[in-house]
Amino acid sequence: MMPPSIPIKKPSPKSRVLLVSHNFPPTMGPESSLVRLNALDLLRRGWRVSVLTTTMEHMHQGLDHAMLDGLPADLEILRTPSYDAVLRKRWPKIARLILTLLSRWILPEIFLFWLFSSVPAGKRWLKQNRPAIIYSRATKHVSNVTGWLLKRATGLPWVAHMSDPWTELPFHNRLQRWIAWQFERRIFRDADAIVTVSRGLADHILRLHPWARHKVHVIPHGFAALDKPLAPVTRAGHRPLEALYAGSLTPTLREPYSLFAALALLNELSPLQGRLKVTFVGEDTVCYQSVVDSLGLTDVVSLLSSVPYQTCQDMIAQSDLLLVLDTPGFGGIFLPTKLIEYLPYAKPVLGLAEPDSAIHQLLRECDLAFADQGVPEEIAAAFETLVKQWETGVWEVSAKSRESVSKYRIDQVNDCLDELLTSMAADEMS
């Protein structure tokens, strides 16, 4: 099965867009695939897109060169080194010490080293390609800092995409938080528009920047339709229900303890071996193996390290139930990229999050299952219901779910982005 793609059938050319993102293929991770998807969607709409990103060396993320497949020749990619990765490669021992000290005591994001190459390269490109719109995308906040510096240098229209808050993330000390605050405040002050992925996130961030509310636009993540429909599920009820969590876990932030506790509760009531198989694949999953073993879930839960993008998509396609796990303690403001990536597969989804969170609201809208991630008993009950449905041989999503999910196709959700960029281009030309 090929990865989701967008056919590039361009209308008449529109203005130039410099898409600034530290994450872009072949870098692995959901943000990289999402930026790729948005670049292709803008191309399809007629925008002349150039991507300013890093070289193919990264300090913390793996590479998947297959993610470069299908990129059109007219998508210009400007690659500049992120010097944290360069230092780590050339002088690994001393660089590890220096970078660890900087990331622990001074820098709110180690990727800020990219500014030393991204900003000069962006200035050169913009000097040669005016008029243009700057469109920067975080989660790597250095992308928006680059956008801010390019805005200051050129005065060109700038859209800053912020899918996560910055200053309220956990830092080691007040200096890091203060530096992050200085950057974030200037991003909100100088951006012509701010894009967030949910109303809850927008309201959360605007508590700190209420004067910027008129700039904020809510545009959720979107997905591309599959190249061809999946084959129907076979042998439901005659084999174990195969559930998949595809995405990283984050020690001290997003952890699976409540989920494991729920499975242990359910396993005590009625053994799950041969009835349910739950697989976790992504960063920092295997470190929880001792917890799985101690709860007697070794034959139920499988923990796998990160795999290439296409392999992960194949695993999603082959699974029966897809799992989403929120990051608690932030008021439910996050809308995980992986949840949106699940939607085109038209499979049952179980989301574990806080009530009335962005995840809960989307699942409720799309008629998909939800349980409070802080209540293992509720999670166990949700799994019990799903396992019983599977064992009866009835396994499908509702017509309401299919209809609601279609609203999150990239060609629909990005209509708002297209209108925003068109308005900015008209203002720049006038």
**Per-residue pLDDT for 395 more than 80?**
yes
Its pTM surpasses 0.85: yes
Highest mean pLDDT pick, 134-138, 164-168, 331-335: 134-138
According to the model, what pLDDT value does residue 3 have?
46
Peptide bond into 25 cis (omega under 30): no
Listed residue (267, 366, 300, 341) closest to 29, CA to CA: 341
**Per-residue pLDDT for 2 more than 50?**
no
Q: Where are the alpha helices (DSSP H) in 229-345?
A: 257-269, 289-294, 309-318, 337-342
Tokens found for residue 378? 């509720």
Question: pLDDT tens-digit profile of 215-236?
Answer: 999 999 999 988 887 877 877 8
Highest mean pLDDT pick, 60-69, 135-144, 163-172: 135-144
Q: How many CB atoms lie within 10 A of CB 106?
A: 14
Q: What mean pLDDT do residues 17-41 have?
A: 93
CB 110 within 8 A of CB 99: yes
According to the model, what pLDDT value does residue 55 have?
86
Question: pLDDT tens-digit profile of 271-293?
Answer: 999 999 999 998 889 999 999 99
Distance CA 303, CA 342 (A): 19
According to the model, what pLDDT value does residue 12 have?
53
Question: pLDDT tens-digit profile of 334-380?
Answer: 888 889 999 999 999 999 999 999 999 999 999 999 999 999 999 99
Q: What mean pLDDT do residues 24-29 have?
A: 88
